[in-house]
Amino acid sequence: MSSGRLFVTGGTGYIGGVLIELAVADGYKVHALSRSEDGDTKLRTLGAEPVRGDLASLDVLRNESKKADAVINLATAYVFGQGKYEDALPIDNAAIDAMCDGLVGTNRPLITTSGTLSAQADPNGNETNEDAPPEPSHLNVRIQAENHALAQAKERGVRVMIVRMSPFTYGSGGSGIARFMGMAKNMGGLPTVNGGGNRTTAVHVNDAVRLVLLAVEKGEAGDVFNAGSQTEVTMGVLFNAINSSVGVPNKDITYDEAFAGFGENIAWFLKAENRASGAKAQKKLGWQPKGTPVLEDINSGSYVAVANALLGK
């Protein structure tokens, strides 16, 4: 299908920009949702045709999905740090419904994204797969959007699939790693919680995007895939690398201190154990992660320039 037409939401974001670049290089014709003239300019620079609207523009979503050979939804109405995801959930769900309206009765795929943190950690410390029970925390509202999307496969026969992104989807000097480096510099050290021994999941953004494009080609209705390639890195080792990159000391605090200082969402994120295996995508889709490992990328790769800029070098 690599000469087909893709409709992409979230194309002006970090993952979306990489997806458009690689999809265009593969021969896709990409149409992407844009909310502004700046978004139009960015999308055209990446090689995509901008389509004006947002996740509340249901007629636009419906019509563009109807014209597309595949739809990739990377967007959410939730803005991190502004309100609660519960407030964005109805918008996200209505957007999925509209996209499915354009695809129902066809075998054309809709890929939508969530996060590997939606799965409960294995009690024995092993990796989890896509069938792991959901994280029971009341903060895990995003799983409701995932379940709503998957219900469209069962109820309406739409070829819906989920790609769960890692908490650390990184590379090219961007995403959360760069933001954490800035926070570390400003705070005089980014803290771990209760020793930082909890492990997390990481994936290079290029690898994550390749998984999405493979799912378009080979995935089946109802499939869920973890975009995870590294599951042995602890938050302590990761944050130590981030702190060292900008010349600030390591810190460790209790969960209660994190809760009081940063709020429940970030406190939970800092202490979460998450080891999401990407084996299913490797076996079923032929996914082969090849990106620079996260610690190497921080210490000697794309994040060196970020650190130098923060340090005024």
- Go through the domains of the chain in sequence order and give each one's CATH number: 5-168+202-227 (3.40.50.720), 171-200+231-274+291-310 (3.90.25)
Q: What pLDDT sits at residue 41?
A: 97
Give the pLDDT score at 2: 62
How many CB atoms lie under 10 A from the CB of residue 58? Answer: 16
Q: What is the pLDDT of residue 138?
A: 85
Tokens matching residue 23: 């999809």
SS (H, E, C) 227-257: ECCECCCEHHHHHHHHHHHCCCCCEEECHHH
What pLDDT is stored for residue 69 in this prediction?
97
**In the structure, how many helices (H) and strands (E) does the chain have?**
13, 11
d(CA 227, CA 282): 10
pLDDT of residue 81: 66
Question: Which tokens is 107 given?
Answer: 């075998």
pLDDT of 211:
98
CA trace torsion 95, 99, 105, 109 (10° rounding)? -120
d(C-alpha 10, C-alpha 26), whole Å? 19
Residue 226's DSSP bridge partners are 164
Residue 252 burial by Cβ neighbours in a 10 Å radius (0-12, 13-18, 19+) = middle
Mean pLDDT by groups of 10 residues along the chain of 313 residues: 88 96 96 96 97 97 97 90 83 96 96 96 96 90 93 95 97 93 95 97 98 97 97 97 97 96 91 97 98 97 97 91
pLDDT score at 141 = 86
Distance between CA atoms of residues 221 and 154, nearest Å: 8
How far apart CA 277 and CA 129 sit, in angstroms, is 6
Of residues 104, 55, 72, 60, the one with CA closest to residue 4: 72
